[in-house]
Each structure stands twice: as C-alpha cells, then as structure tokens.
Amino acid sequence: MIAIDVEEENKEIVRKYRQLLRRAKPFLKEGDSRLIRKAFNTSMEAHHGMRRKSGEPYIFHPLAVAKICVDEIGLGTTSIVAALLHDVVEDTEWTIPDIERDFGKKIARIIDGLTKISGVFEHGSSQQAENFRKMLLTLSEDVRVILVKLADRLHNMRTLDSMPVNKQYKIASETIFLYAPLAHRLGLYAIKSEMEDLYLRYTENEVYAEIVKKVDITKDVRNRFIKSFIRPLQKELNEHGFDYIIKGRPKSIYSIWNKMKKQNIPVEEVYDLFAIRIIVDTSLENEKAMCWLVYSIVTDYYKPNPDRLRDWISTPKANGYESLHTTVMAKNGQWVEVQIRSKRMDEIAEKGYAAHWKYKDNINSHESGLEQWISKVRDMLEQNDSSALEFVDDFRGNLFHEEVFAFTPKGDLKTLPHGATALDFAFDIHTEVGARCIGAKVNQKLVPINYTLKNGDQVEILTSSKQKPNEDWLRFVVSSKAKAKIKDELKEGKKFIAEEGREIALRKLKQLKIEPTNETFDRLRAYFNVNTQFDLFFKVGQGLIDTKDLKGFKDFKPATPIKSRPSTNISDAKSFEKEIVKLKSNDILLIGEDMDVVDYKLSKCCNPIPGDNVFGYVTVNEGIKIHRTTCPNAPELLANHGHRVVKAKWASQHESSFLSGLKIIGTDRVGLINDVTSIISDELKVNMRSMSIDTDSGIFEGEIMLYVNDTRHLDLLITKLEKVEGVVKVSRFDYNE
C-alpha cells in the first residue's frame, strides 16, 4: 500500500486554492473572496477523507472544475462557488436546503440542477437521460448549471485513466453523445474539441496514438510551411497599420479521424491538417469592414476556392459564432483554410456563452442567435411531456445540427435546424399557424408543407381553419418545437377518443357483470394484445376493438399471470451479475465483473470478431448482445443505458470462424483476381462467402465477405493483400446482415 504524505497533500490543496483565487482576482467584487473561501471550507469539510479512484484527495476535483470555469469558460464568482460545491449534495450528508441556508437560492438552484436523480426508475426508462433532462430544466432559470456541468465533465474526461475500461467507455460515450455537442452549441469550441479528442483516446486508443504520432512527425514541415505562407500577408498587414496576430491552428485529432472515416483515406491524405487564423484588434463599428479588408489582402496573394467562402459575420451561427472563412490555394498547390475575425469574435469563439454575455451591452440590443437558442430550449422544456429518452433524442436531433436561414414576407430572419421544412417554419411562427398549415409560398411559388427550406428562402405560410395535424406530419418536421406541438395536438385528439372508448368498455363490462378493476384491464390488454390501458381504450373508441369481442373475453384465462408492466429477470447489468450462470463451453468471450464465460449473441449492427474491443449490452428480450466499441450505436447505448452495459473481452484465439468484410481498391490487370483469391484461399486457408468486383476505366473496386478467426488473422490477410501488385488499398468495412 502506498504511504500518503498528508502534510504534502494539504500544501498542494492550499496551493491549488490560492492559484484559483489569483485567476479569479481581476473580476472579484467586495465580499466575493469571503464567499469563495466559505464554499472551499464547506467542500473540504464535506469531502473530508474521501478520495478519487486515482487515490488523490477528492477536493482536487472541485478545485479543478472551478479553475476550468474561470480559465477556460470565463465565468465569475457564482459559478466558482457552485463548482466548489457541485458534488456536496450528491456525495455527502449535505442537502439542498442546507446549501440554500448558507449560500442563497441562486447557488442552491444550480447545485440542484447538477445533482443526479436518485431512486427507482420505471421499466424502459434511462437514468442518464432523466439526469440530463433534470440538468437542462435548470437552464430555464440559470444557464450556468450547464457551463459548470461541462467543466465537471471535462475534468472527468481528463482524469479518466484511473477508471476501469467499461466505465471509460460509458463516460466517453456519454460525452460524445451529449456533452461535446452541447459545448459546441454554446460556442465552447476548445472544450468541445478536447472532449472529442479524449473520447477517441479512450475508445480507439491505437488509432488515436497513430494519428498523434503522424501529426507530430509532420510538425516541423508544417511550421516551416506556415511561416512561408504568412510572410507576405504579415508584410501587407503591417503596411496597412493593422493591430493583429496570426495563429496556425492544428486540426483536432477527432476531426482528422472523422475525415479519414468519411473519405476512407489514411492520415497522410488529409490535406487540411491545420488552419491559419488572423485576429484583428479593432473597434466594434469597424469589425466587419476590417475583416473584409483582410480577406481582400489574403486573396490578392492566394487564389480562393469560391465554393468555400463562409460569411458568419453578416449572419452569425446560432451559438453566437462570428468569423469569415475562406480556403485558398498556397504556392505549393496545397489548400489552406484561413479564418478572419476580430479580437471580440475570437473570444466568443473560444469561450462561447460567457464571452458573449460580457460583450452583450456593447452590441446592439437585438436578441442574439445564442439567446434565441436558449429561449427555444426553455420552450421545449416547458412543453415536453415525452419520456426522457425521447426528449434526449429530440434535443440532440434538433439542436446540434447546422442551421438554415429563411425570411418571413416582411423580411424577419428565422433560424431553423438543417433540413427544416415549410411546416417547421409555420410552427416557428406560432402553434396555431403550424396546426392549420396547408402549404406555403416560397419565393412566390406554391410548395407543399414538406418542402425542405434552403438558405435565403422567403416563406409565406398558407392556412385553413379546417386543417388538422395527422401522424404523417411527424415525418415532415425536424425541429423539437414542431414535433412537440404536433404530438400535443394528436394527443388531445387521441385523449378524446380514448375517453369515449373507456366509457364504452365500462358499460360493456357492467353488462357482462365483470368488475372494472386494474387486474381486469391488464387481462383485457393481454387478451387484445395491446401494451397500455390507453391503447386499449383508444382502440375501443376507434372501433378497432368491437364490443362484441368483449363477450369472448369473459372466459379468457391467461397462461401466465399478467403484471401491469412487462418484467424480466435480467433488466440491467447488476441483476445480470446475480443471475449469471456459468456454462461449460469452449467459448472465449469473457463477460461481467468476474469475467465469466456465459451465453451471448453477436450484434448484427457491427458484427464483432475476436480481437475487437467490445462490450456487452443486456437487452430486455434477447439476453446479452456483444457490440464493438466503434459500433455506430455504441455512443447512444452507453450514454442512455449505461446501467445495462457489462464488461466483455476476448480471452484468446479460437478455432471458430467469424464473418467479416474487406474492401479492395486497385488498378485492374490480367490475373489480379486470381492472385487475390489464392492468398485468401490457398496461403491463409480463409473461406470466402461472397465476392463482388466492379471495374471501370482500369480501376477496380471489390467487396469480399470471408470467415476469419480474429483481428490478428484479419490484419495478416490485409497486409498480404496490400503487397499484391496493383492493389492500392485494403480496408475492413462494416456491414449489416
């Protein structure tokens, strides 16, 4: 056991606390230092004797979160106090009323939003989703709850090394699924990029390490290139008397990996590994003119790509981001992205919401895109009565995409999610306009309600008092506001029908002399094979269940007792651990905390093979399903249903064969196919299931389905095939059976 030097630890705690105060000093008002001191002492006392998984004192964590709030988000005293106290209610004897008594209502509200919900959850619900919704509900009162949570999550990601692998996957997936997009939406680009990079580090460690290594190798060459690229620009900017700085910004590891995946190319072929950023220090009135003048200077020296000009100064992004982006051709034939912005714009781009707030009084009084977004979230939270999982889905789908800009007939600008339709536009104007929408005129032309809007469209909504929403409308909209309003309208109609159906069912049961108890209704559900009592009454009201059918029910006895909710012995990972049964088999996938050999199914969405990094997911009806950690569904499963996830890992090579897919690209020649198949069948004794080859103008592309033992076997096969003359590239691809 490692000896703990308490005195040294205490010195380190004091050092970290003093460092926090020094960073906060520029904006502290009278009495702020005392309040921060009080919060620090409370946190020290509450967490006394507690340690993190790494073995360090727990107080290190709240101090680090508070420092991120100050340094990386630019928050003030209230957020520092909330950060120091954020785990006190969840992990100690302290309660929200205690916090309110000592620190006031504002701090108590933030801490409440940051405290996870405890207790029993309904079947089919998700604790993570409920916690996320609870945190967002506090957004209605104070956006700082989200910002402190992002600081907390960033520090957790930075210290993920000490957690077990399955917890690393769960926390990293939750981060990429919810928190990184949320940081992006609040304009915290540096935090978003670091979260994405850390996600990759813990889920695809080998790929991450390879990209880091290759980016480091090219660092010197890159720096020399940047110097020669900016030299003529500096000369010209100096002559114009600009007060500016130029930075070379490397592309994040995650975005390089994303590009490699999307374009199926190696890291060497990702051309835009960095961007040049020119930041001009100028007054608010001159910002736009100065940025366009810099653009003019850049394009005098380097030819721009006309399709790659992005003007987010005239029309800022919904998260407040303002910048001018262009991609230009350097003298060596390489494309370079150039970002041009003012000092104010750069601070908003780096620190997002907090910086936006700082400059708010200096900018015109119009509500910014970021404030509009936050008020949309508030509307969504107030209207939403769907399950937490549906809510999280809506939240992600609606708020983390790019935007589309459209105008009303009077010229008012409306910002909607990418893919929004005329119907989304109608609901954005007003619920009644949306509910009565029959079509629209876009740029004076008549279009249907499901017309997808394009940037710059001018939209006039056409309505009719006879129009009513129907189920199909949910397929025609992408915004949460429209979805929520349509569901509300449909529910009202359904409720009326279900209420009528209930009255009909009660009258019939009375005639049949059957007591209308909950047990009776559960037996009725089983008899008519419907999920809920509401569905039962709705079907009766619609006439889909005839009252004559109720006569046959009188003598019905279910084969098994019916419960009001479906139940299963294995509902989550913990109950699975209790129910685990050891099987005498030669299988080599070890599952659970004790790494037992148990029965499982390989998921069809990612088709794992031995050697892949995998996890087990306890399903409701199909036992344990094994997914690759890179499975497209992994982030959602791990983020929303972490309680159902169990450890799983391959123990050793096995003689079983697993189906995998290989894509081969190359230049066609006589005998090439023969060389490829002989390596697969003769040399490595691999069985092929299918092979499809397509040739066009001397280039061939083939897909081969084959059986391999494990990832090592597959890697060996790829290496051998890449040595065949004419083969340019061999890669594994995901397929769905």
Catalytic center residues: 90-91
The structure tokens listed for 670 are 């006589």
How many angstroms separate the CA atoms of 664 and 695, rounded?
12
CA neighbor of 502 nearest in space, from 519, 516, 488? 516
Strand duo 335-342 + 324-329: pairing? antiparallel
User: Residue 276: enclosing H or E segment and its boundaries?
Assistant: strand 274-280
Q: Where would I find the beta strands (DSSP E) of 122-167?
A: none
The full DSSP string for 348-395 is: HHHHTHHHHHHHGGGS-SSPPHHHHHHHHHHHHHHH--S-HHHHHHHH
How many angstroms separate the CA atoms of 149 and 133, rounded?
13
CA neighbor of 692 nearest in space, from 684, 702, 678? 702
In this structure, are residues 481 and 434 in contact, taking their beta carbons and an 8 Å threshold? no
Strand duo 658-667 + 727-733: pairing? antiparallel
The amino acid that residue 271 corresponds to is Y
- Cβ neighbors of 137 (< 8 A, separation 6 or more) are 113, 381
Match 């939003």 to its residue by tokens. 113
In this structure, are residues 613 and 683 in contact, taking their beta carbons and an 8 Å threshold? no
The amino acid that residue 201 corresponds to is R
- Cβ neighbors of 726 (< 8 A, separation 6 or more) are 666, 667, 668, 669, 672
- Cβ neighbors of 437 (< 8 A, separation 6 or more) are 422, 423, 426, 427, 449, 461, 462, 463, 467
DSSP 2: P
CA neighbor of 392 nearest in space, from 617, 127, 605? 127
How many angstroms separate the CA atoms of 268 and 284, rounded?
41
The structure tokens listed for 40 are 């620090």
User: Can you list the alpha helix ranges (DSSP code H) found in 641-688?
Assistant: 672-678
The structure tokens listed for 362 are 């200096």
- The residues pairing with 589 across neighbouring beta strands, listed in sequence order, are 650
Match 């727990």 to its residue by tokens. 58
CA distances from 616 to 579, 602, 603 (A): 15, 9, 10
How many angstroms separate the CA atoms of 541 and 498, rounded?
6
Q: State the CB neighbour count (10 A cutoff) for residue 458.
A: 14
How many angstroms separate the CA atoms of 198 and 395, rounded?
23
CA neighbor of 480 nearest in space, from 395, 371, 594, 420? 395
- Cβ neighbors of 470 (< 8 A, separation 6 or more) are 490
DSSP-based three-state secondary structure for 706: strand
- The residues pairing with 708 across neighbouring beta strands, listed in sequence order, are 658
How many angstroms separate the CA atoms of 637 and 630, rounded?
12
In this structure, are residues 291 and 280 in contact, taking their beta carbons and an 8 Å threshold? yes
CA neighbor of 688 nearest in space, from 704, 701, 709, 673? 704
The amino acid that residue 211 corresponds to is I
Largest CA distance in the chain: 97
